Amino acid sequence: MTKDKKVKKRISGEDIKSALFIYKYMLPYKWYFFLGLVMLALGGTVFMIFPAVVGEMIKTAEGNGRFGFTVNQYGLIFIIIAFALGTISFIRINLFAIVAENGMGQIRKDLFKKLVSQETAFFESRRLGEITSRITADVEQIQNAFSVTLAEFLRQFITLAVGITALFYLSWKLSLVMLAVFPLVIVFAIIFGRYIKKMSKQRQDNLAETNVIVDEVFQGIEVVKAYVNELFETKVYNKSLDKLIAIGIRFSRLKGAFVSFIFVFLFGAIFFILWQGAKQIEGGLLNAADLNTFIFYTLLIGGAIGGLSAQYTALASALGATQKVKELLESDQELNIDDTDETKALDFKEEIAFKYVNFNYPARPDVNVLKDINLKVKKGEHIALVGSSGSGKSTIVKLLSNLYTIQSGSILIDGENVSDINLKSLRKAIGIVPQDVFLFGGTIKENILYGNPKASFEEVKKAAEQANALEFIENFPEDFDTLVGERGVQLSGGQKQRLAIARAILKNPKILVLDEATSSLDSESEKIVQDALEKLMKNRTTFVIAHRLSTVRNADKIFVLKAGKIIEEGTHKSLLEKDGFYSGLLKLQFE
């Protein structure tokens, strides 16, 4: 029992810290926020004058007016109040919008910056829909809470404070009834708020899971259609959505029960007040106009109490999202992004060495992917990594870019451990042409420029020419401004490969990685791409990963991997003479 209480206190403290953390993003717009609060207080006060004016108008109509206004003049006062409220509300909404839009916009910017700077393992341990949900749905919920909900909460609080003061002025006896109701409602709101907050977090998590399914299915729509699994995926989505619907219904029932309680409780109190007020009129302690004013204020206060409870639960439900966003924003990252950072590429001069490297992926800690890897590559050498699928070839070049932390051993460039080298400097020195080329959904020019965003158009054109891509680019009506479509869907495999090569040429890396760069191409495309790759490889230290052993004949050295170990190394000729594993792979391919 004690342990549970401690957990609740800790969560409560985290809630407050999360709210204060988010408020830091509002500080640059504090004066807009302050003026918004002034407008909020002014609007709430003007609104609460309305019942008093109604009461005075009734007294004037009965011939008991105290201020010398006529009934028609009170009508004019109502029009003035209405216009004043409209103007104040317009200013208040716009002031809070400036604070919320700018503050939440900065949160989104910081979130994206933090996410894109996370290490590779972060993305492997989470699904895409979950990540996008944090930056979209969670921030949207926080924005609503800090712009609309909080403003309403404060407005209802002002209504409550001014209303109770007016009630005591009119009749302190009847006011005690409202004061008896108020603490009970607040206590009940806090109890309900805890349950609603918990269920809201659960609903947000399930919504994120549902979004993950949509993201994955639409990204892999070709695979879904190829296997005729539209119905299967629909059933998976429906099952997830049914779970979300069930939680949503339970959430609504809980809120509905709360609102019903508020209505029953408050209307019961109002009827009791009416009965007591009628008795006071009967005894000459109160007049009808003041009772009408009192009832009007009571209704407004009742609405304010109900509103306070609803806004409280809404704010409580937003705290779950606030905590998740705060956790992400405060999490560690592998790379600090700075606009002023002009880090230059690593000046690789002599040798790359892997010494007794052992590695397993964070998501699969029990599977040893690389075992005691030892290899050396001199500057300017072209080496090849060959072996069957899953032998660890691609993992070696990933570790060279320090995408993961190795379990033991060391990876050295010119004698310096890659973990000690500036990460930007290291990765700027390495260029990769992968098998599965990813193109962004912009133009051809924009995709080539990704290798060096500061390059001129002439440099882009030259890179395209060296990559044997210029001919097909200029055959398009829109030339370099041709849209490639999402993930480059408008282009063939060979065309995408040549754009990836042009991108790498523009980057001008000292170390080049060719990861199965021609394995998925037809013979004609392969010849064109291979020619472009040979131009790219000139005067660069190159790692070639290949299944087609015919493409690695001219490598300075070939490392043969099997089950995470280097079992053979040498030139193509020397390995054939050994008549070992490499020779067997070669014979198998030719057969």
pLDDT of amino acid 358 = 92
β strands within 402-454, DSSP E: 408-413, 416-417, 430-433
Model confidence over 520-537: pLDDT tens digits? 556 666 677 777 777 778
- The pLDDT score that the predictor gives to residue 40 is 83
Taking residues 80-86, report their average pLDDT.
Answer: 87
Least confident of 234-238, 271-275, 389-393, 441-445: 271-275
* Angle, helices 172-219/230-282, rounded to nearest 10 degrees: 170
Assign 424 to helix, strand or coil.
helix
Tell me, what's the pLDDT at 267?
Answer: 65
Confidence of residue 24 (pLDDT cuts 50, 70, 90): confident
Strongest mean pLDDT among 168-177, 275-284, 426-435: 426-435
**Domains located in the chain, CATH noted:** 2-329 (1.20.1560.10), 351-590 (3.40.50.300)
The answer to which of 118-122, 229-233, 354-358, 429-433 has the lowest mean pLDDT is 118-122
Pick from 494, 538, 539: nearest CA to 517: 494
Find where tokens 């007040």 sit: 273
What confidence tens digit (pLDDT) does each residue in 372-425 have?
989 998 988 888 898 887 888 888 888 888 888 888 889 898 888 988 888 888
Digit-coded pLDDT (tens) for 443-475: 888 888 888 888 889 998 888 888 888 888 888
Residue 290 has pLDDT above 80, yes or no: no
- pLDDT band for position 590 (cuts 50, 70, 90): low
In this predicted structure, what is the pLDDT of residue 1? 35
DSSP 343-381: PPPP---SEEEEEEEEE--TT-TTS--EEEEEEEEETT-
pLDDT on residue 214:
82
Taking the model in full, what pTM does it have? 0.66
Sequence-distant (6+) residues with CB within 8 A of 500 are: 433, 434, 437, 439, 517
314-333: average pLDDT: 75
Quote the mean pLDDT of the chain.
78
Instruction: Place 356 in a pLDDT band, splitting at 50, 70 and 90.
Output: very high
Which whole number is the average pLDDT over 123-138? 74
Weakest-pLDDT range from 92-106, 212-226, 299-313, 449-463: 299-313
Highest-pLDDT range among 52-61, 229-238, 557-566: 557-566
Give the model's confidence band at 11: pLDDT under 50 very low, under 70 low, under 90 confident, else very high: very low
For 75: left if phi > 0, alpha if psi spans -120 to 50, otherwise beta; the answer is alpha
Nearest CA-CA partner of 371 in 358, 385, 383: 358
Which range has the worst mean pLDDT, 229-243, 302-316, 466-480? 302-316
Give me the torsion for CA of 199, 201, 207, 213, rounded to 10°: -120
If one counts every other C-beta atom within 10 angstroms of the C-beta of residue 120, the result is 15
∠ CA 434-437-442, rounded to 5°? 145
pLDDT of residue 8: 34
Q: Which residues of 424-462 are buried (b: 16+ CB within 10 A; e: fewer)?
A: bebbbbbbbbbbebebeeebbbbbbbbbbeebeeebbbb
